Amino acid sequence: MTSETADPLDTAVIAPAADPGFLQRYGASIEYILIPGAALAAALITFGGFVALFGKSPLDLYWYMYYGAFGTWFSWQNTLTRAAPLILTALCTALPAQLGMVIIGGEGALLIGALAATSAALALQSMPPLVVQLAMVVAGMAGGGLSIMLAGGLRHYRGVNETISSLLLVYIALAILNHLVEGAMRDPASLNKPSTREIGAANMIGSIPGTDVHWGLVFGLVAALAAYVLIYHTTFGFAARVAGGNIRAAKIVGLSVGQLILTICFLAGSCAGLAGMVEVAAVQGRTNANLAVGYGFTGILVAFLARQNPLAIIPVAILLGGIGASGGLLQRRLGLPDASVLVLQGIIFVFVLASDALYGRIGFLKGKS
């Protein structure tokens, strides 16, 4: 996170010709683009080698990946549709990370959010669609937010490790979902696929006009921007980062750490809960076990690849959405198994994590040669 700025005296003396002012000012920013970019390129080259071992041409691979993810307007829509829930679930990990907390329970918050949103819609069937939709947003965000706030509270008041508790809460959420969907909330007509009743076609939020990408993408973009402003341009965000840097120092300067933890965890969970609401209101139209497909877990990967930066989450989610979108084409054209997408995700993850060691160590970016 902290890249050292170069010693001004040093640069002034040794490299006057290389526009030290520019590098000094933007070196750190360039690093944030250059290093992940290089890590991504290295991962793609490694994956190409892996594919070559199976006797497939890496050039074909890169072409199909590009074509399937970004090569046509359809491919773009496919990519963006897959990216939409990932932006929101990634925020569930990235926001608490500002406080130094590792929350990996986005999947559970998504499921609880979906259940809460569905319940709200089913309870308000006679209301106009806009009211129902607003109620779904509020219920979904509150449900998801409370579930992650629980993990934050356990951490703050009882000293329970938030990583473990948030993960275990995922299984509890899934059990609650299955219990309700197969029991109290089951639509008797859903014979072989236990599901809740449908929220009704009028209450669905539909797609962004002119595309078939659902509104979840816009929700995600707005949430990511809001999170960025909150963390980097408000005193609240500053306080959170201080507490994340050194919790004792934060207490000494009088910050209310408990309040920070609960608020941030609630906001984080409400993002994942909103993703759950969108899955119900834009995709499935009801709640059933199909909601638990791992968006919450992929979101953790996105957050770490984005180095927990809310803005960087957007391109990373689109990248992973694109990998998912092109995965089908790799199966169909190159005959690669589905698991190859996971292999690529894993390779990217390892390279990006390893590249962390490079920050502040690339000589020319410091203005030294």
Binding site for other proteins (CB under 8 A): 57, 59-60, 63, 66-68, 71-76, 78, 81-82, 178, 182-183, 191-194, 214, 279, 283-285, 288-291, 293-294, 324-325, 328-329, 331-333, 337-338
Judged by beta carbon, residue 256 or residue 290, the one nearer other proteins is: 290
User: Torsion angle, CA of 219/223/226/232, rounded to 10 degrees?
Assistant: -150
Judged by beta carbon, residue 67 or residue 236, the one nearer other proteins is: 67
Judged by beta carbon, residue 127 or residue 174, the one nearer other proteins is: 174
Tokens of 275: 């993703």
Q: How far is the CB of 77 from other proteins (least distance, A)?
A: 8
Q: Which of 361, 118, 76, 92 is nearest to 224 (CA)?
A: 92
Distance CA 104, CA 151 (A): 10
Count other C-beta atoms under 10 Å from residue 264's C-beta. Answer: 28
Q: How far is the CB of 250 from other proteins (least distance, A)?
A: 41
For helices 106-123 and 73-97, angle between their N-to-C axes, nearest 10 degrees: 110
Q: How far is the CB of 182 from other proteins (least distance, A)?
A: 8
Q: How far is the CB of 109 from other proteins (least distance, A)?
A: 17
Judged by beta carbon, residue 71 or residue 346, the one nearer other proteins is: 71
Distance CA 65, CA 13 (A): 47
Judged by beta carbon, residue 338 or residue 356, the one nearer other proteins is: 338
Check: CB of residue 139 under 8 Å from CB of residue 301: no
Q: Does residue 186 sit in helix, strand or coil?
A: strand
DSSP class of residue 127 equals: S
Judged by beta carbon, residue 75 or residue 203, the one nearer other proteins is: 75
Q: How far is the CB of 183 from other proteins (least distance, A)?
A: 8
Q: How far is the CB of 161 from other proteins (least distance, A)?
A: 25
